[in-house]
């Protein structure tokens, strides 16, 4: 695979709900960069790991709409951010 | 060494509390495929170090030089880089530096820049 040579995307994550519990790690380091081939499920797992939360407690949203697990960052970028 | 081989097959996620320095996917020589680079000047500015001190302290971090035109062409080919993110040549054509200095994107450098790194296996 050699993902380390891939192009990158940079993301900025904002927590949706207002509850303050266990969200510190994410709010402290909300800027994320990864391969364009990484999928939503990978990002979810990384976030769960960092936040110490079970997988079903973390969802990735765009415009309040949950993103499918198998969507890649490139698909996300092309469908939602293209040219922005 | 083995660990490094394994990491190559995993997705690396970089986390930071500060906006990330832009990274560029560039092919710096014909004998080597494209990989990711920072602009050396961006890195020095963020670390508040001179080029000389940086290279003395971190001699193992790879620095490459690319003709400016080549850099702009490479950046311009990217689909995920907005056009305004590709730095325009600050010097007028013909004068000033015609090359850009790049430093290789790698986990150690990200940590120097204050970021965290996490891996996620593709198959997980």
CB contact under 8 A, A10 and B115: no
Residues on chain B touching A28 (C-beta within 8 angstroms) = 17
* pLDDT tens digits along A31-67: 999 999 999 999 999 999 888 888 888 889 998 899 9
pLDDT at position B62: 97
Residues of chain B with pLDDT under 70: 1-8, 76-77, 79-97, 124
CB contact under 8 A, A7 and B78: yes
For residue A76, is pLDDT > 80? yes
Residue A14 forms contact with B (CB below 8 Å): no
Q: In terms of CA atoms, which chain A residue is nearest residue B10?
A: A3
Task: Grade residue A14 by pLDDT with cuts at 50, 70 and 90.
Answer: confident
How far is residue B34's CA from residue B102's CA, in Å, rounded to a whole number? Answer: 13
Select the residue of A4, A10, A43 nearest B12 (Cβ to Cβ).
A4
Find the mean pLDDT for residues A63-75: 93
pLDDT at position A6: 92
- How close does chain B come to A2, measured CA to CA in Å? 5
Rg (CA), chain B: 16
Sheet holding B23-26, edge to edge: B23-26, B35-39, B99-104, B63-67
Residue A13 forms contact with B (CB below 8 Å): no
* pLDDT tens digits along A17-31: 655 555 555 567 889
pLDDT at position B2: 53
- CA distances, B106 to each of A32, A51, B103, B121 (Å): 15, 24, 9, 18
Nearest to A76 by CA among A17, A5, A10, A2: A10
- State what percent of residues in chain B have pLDDT above 90: 60
End-to-end CA distance of chain A: 29
CB contact under 8 A, B7 and A4: yes
pTM: 0.84
pLDDT at position B91: 47
Q: What is the ipTM metric for this complex?
A: 0.87
Residue A51 forms contact with B (CB below 8 Å): no
The pLDDT mean for chain A works out to 84
Nearest to B88 by CA among B80, B76, B79: B76
Select the residue of B18, B118, B122 nearest A49 (Cβ to Cβ).
B118
pLDDT at position B92: 44
């Amino acid at each position: 695979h050699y993902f380390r040579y891939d192009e990158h995307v940079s993301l900025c994550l904002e927590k949706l709900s207002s509850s303050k519990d266990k969200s510190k790690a994410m709010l402290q380091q909300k800027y994320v960069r990864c391969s364009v081939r990484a999928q939503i499920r990978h990002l979810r797992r990384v976030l769960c790991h960092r936040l110490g939360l079970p997988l079903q407690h973390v969802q990735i949203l765009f415009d309040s709409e949950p993103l499918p697990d198998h969507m890649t960052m490139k698909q996300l970028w092309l469908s939602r951010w293209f040219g922005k | 060494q083995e660990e490094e081989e394994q990491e190559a097959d995993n997705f690396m996620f970089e986390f930071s509390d500060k906006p990330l320095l832009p990274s560029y996917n560039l092919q710096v020589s014909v004998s080597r495929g494209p990989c990711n680079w920072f602009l050396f000047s961006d890195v020095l500015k963020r670390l508040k170090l001179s080029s000389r001190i940086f290279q003395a302290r971190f001699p193992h971090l790879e620095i490459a030089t690319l003709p400016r035109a080549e850099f702009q062409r490479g950046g311009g080919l990217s689909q995920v880089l907005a056009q305004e993110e590709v730095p325009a040549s600050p010097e007028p054509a013909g004068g000033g530096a015609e090359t850009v200095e790049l430093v290789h994107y790698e986990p150690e450098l990200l940590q120097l820049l204050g970021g965290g790194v996490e891996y996620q296996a593709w198959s997980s």
